[in-house]
Structure 1
Amino acid sequence: MSHRTENTFRQFDQRKANVYAKVRPDYHPSVYDTIINQHTSTGGQLGTLIDVGCGPGLVMHTLAPHFNHAIGLDASEGMIAAARSANLVTGSSESVRFEVGTAEELTRDVSHQVQEASVDLITVANAAHWFDMPKFWESAARVLKPGGSVAMWTSGEIRVHPSVPNAAAIEAAMYRIEEDHLTPYRHAGNELVRNGYVDLSLPWTLTPPVNEFDESTFLRKIWNLKEEFFTGSRELDLDTFEKIMGTGSAVVRWREAHPHDVGTERDVVKMQRREIERSLHEGGVNEGEERVRGAYAPHAQ
């Protein structure tokens, strides 16, 4: 799959990044526990963490306290500004450092802070689908210590939980609206997310392979419907649903192309909301009681 540079979030200013940070839910503690446990069980240490594609710094709130040093990298100056405003600290009470940088040039971007072969864990939360993966793996191999780890995860395809009244009709309506309106605004990276990263390039699948990574220690975990992937209730009121869906890159691009429709009944997310409301009412839900439960097919690897 050819690489396409992601420019949607890269162009966010701090205001947009703050909105993104406020709306996006954090990952459930079980996600972070899986990462730390897998890393330490294979010999990984808790010295230095780098979160690549860190956005407004969401992951650092939970993971940075496990480490002595932590750096967040993102290509968006707005996202980095938002992350810095949180004033996060590590387990050694050192400030988390947030810097503008790219996944493909880790050594160049952080060389004044971190030497080669000095990073214990690299994390990538819902961002690897925008990377040039061969360059990323080569760069990651240079900065990781022996025994270091890379952990990356994605939310996968968002589905409607089968317990929701008229769930099949809601899913069909959402899919139809996506296909009719968002298809021109979905990039290859969006498809990688929908497929749960099953086609994401791994070090040993490249030509030539990046041999510094040990395939025998590889773990792919799929969260099932009984497991929480995000914090908080899976039940969402439709106002919250609109806000979360509005942070998706395809929706952001659609809204940039249709500025006069944003927030109106012609807004693509508003269309989805109206279809959800209609289907819920048909399923016996009273007006004012509309809520949805999300079911995910998330992956970590």
Structure 2
Amino acid sequence: MAGLFTEQAAVYAAARPAYPKDLFTKLAALTTHHRVAWDVGTGNGQAAIGVAEHYDSVVATDVTAEQLLHAAPHPKVRYLHTPDATPGEDLVATLGGEGSVDLITVAMAVHWFDLPAFYGVARRVLRRPGGVIAVWGYNHHISPVEDMMARFFNTTVPYKDPRARYCTKGYRDLPFPFDDIGLVREGEPASLDMEHEMSFEGLIAMLRSWSAVAAAKQLGVDLLGDRVVKELEEEWGGASLVRKVTFKAFLLAGTPRADD
């Protein structure tokens, strides 16, 4: 998947909605200390910048070097390229050793991970007690254009990576082996509404950033050809219309289990 995100890095950085500031305030309130945070799969750094408002330092990592070239600079954020083959021991050392991280965040990325390996590192680096891991995402459920999005989403299904099903199902079946902290629990993600003002140009840019659209293009199939874009434009209400839309996001958060 790193190859797909390399090709669409600039589009992804420009097209994706920002995360609400109160999300980071709520997450920060869950951790005992506010020294170090780790934003994994940081992409263009959207989440890392929000986390940095509440922590002394943020280590923001991604397997795709091209994504990091488009990341927003921040004095408290250190961006690091961590290729897929990076050993867990190296990650632990880079993050400051065992029990050194107060908050781990993963925005729109955890479904691509080698989950057992990632969770193993997460358990090692999270502070005990008081460390928190939070993962969240969103899919094609966007109000008030649900029907239009559902029709386009259906055209992408043959090209979707099987791991994307976690995101499609709103993380309801995502393995999340951490203790409940009174917010959400495995199998019962919290709902998170993300409001965003979007132009039609922004909509098309977002759709082009979808991994399934990129995968189809690699196979010679353009899911956003002229005819499709014209149909979407008509359903949107015109190329010049800017809409206020709401992404129906979902979130899981927890802390390491005592017996891990």
Q: TM-score, structure 1 length as denominator?
A: 0.71
Q: Which runs of 5+ in 2 are unaligned?
A: 253-260
Which residue does the alignment assign to 2:74? 88
Summarize the alignment of residues 254-273 of structure 1 with structure 2, pairs less than 5 Å apart.
254-258=216-220, 261=222, 264-265=225-226, 271=228, 273=229
Q: Distance in 2 between matches of 1:263 and 1:110?
A: 42
Question: Aligned AA for 2:132?
Answer: S
Change (3 A) 1:176 1:218: closer
Equivalent position SS for 2:106: strand
| Pair 1:215 & 2:180 matched | yes
Change (3 A) 1:239 1:97: closer
Q: Distance in 1 between matches of 2:68 and 2:239?
A: 38
Q: Distance in 2 between matches of 1:99 and 1:132?
A: 17
Runs of 4+ in 1 over 4 A off after TM superposition: 101-106, 261-264, 287-293
Equivalent position SS for 1:239: helix
Change (3 A) 1:258 1:150: same
1:178 maps to which of 153, 157, 162 = 153
2:109 maps to which of 116, 127, 131 = 127
Structure index of larger Rg: 1
| Pair 1:274 & 2:230 matched | yes
Question: Aligned AA for 1:47?
Answer: R
Change (3 A) 1:112 1:124: closer
Q: Distance in 2 between matches of 1:201 and 1:214?
A: 12
| Pair 1:70 & 2:21 matched | no
Question: Aligned AA for 1:88?
Answer: H
Change (3 A) 1:144 1:9: farther
Which residue does the alignment assign to 1:31? 23
Change (3 A) 1:113 1:183: closer
Q: Distance in 1 between matches of 2:53 and 2:239?
A: 41
Question: Aligned AA for 1:175?
Answer: A
Q: Is the 8 A contact 1:156 1:193 kept in 2?
A: yes
Which residue does the alignment assign to 1:248? 210
CA-to-aligned-CA distance 1:181-203 (integer Å, 9 cap, x gap)? 32221122322112110010011
Change (3 A) 1:141 1:113: closer
1:18 maps to which of 10, 14, 24 = 10
Q: Distance in 2 between matches of 1:138 and 1:290?
A: 46
Equivalent position SS for 1:215: coil
Deviation at 1:130, TM superposition (A): 0.6
Q: Is the 8 A contact 2:92 2:124 kept in 1?
A: no
1:144 maps to which of 102, 126, 134 = 126
CA-to-aligned-CA distance 1:264-283 (integer Å, 9 cap, x gap)? 425xxxx1x33334446xxx
Q: TM-score, structure 2 length as denominator?
A: 0.81
| Pair 1:47 & 2:35 matched | yes
Alpha carbon RMSD of aligned pairs, Å? 2.8
Change (3 A) 1:113 1:31: closer
CA-to-aligned-CA distance 1:19-49 (integer Å, 9 cap, x gap)? 3212222112132223222x23xxx310111
> How many residues get paired?
247
Equivalent position SS for 1:35: helix
Q: Is the 8 A contact 2:4 2:215 kept in 1?
A: no
Equivalent position SS for 2:124: helix
Q: Percent identity of the aligned residues?
A: 25
Question: Aligned AA for 1:115?
Answer: G
1:159 maps to which of 142, 158, 173 = 142
Q: Which runs of 5+ in 1 are unaligned?
A: 1-5, 162-166, 204-212
Equivalent position SS for 1:98: strand
Deviation at 1:89, TM superposition (A): 1.4
| Pair 1:294 & 2:245 matched | yes
Q: Distance in 2 between matches of 1:200 and 1:35?
A: 20
Q: Distance in 2 between matches of 1:103 and 1:215?
A: 31
Q: Distance in 2 between matches of 1:112 and 1:70?
A: 12
CA-to-aligned-CA distance 1:215-274 (integer Å, 9 cap, x gap)? 354524213xxx4x14x42xx321111011111111111122227x587425xxxx1x33
Which residue does the alignment assign to 1:209? none
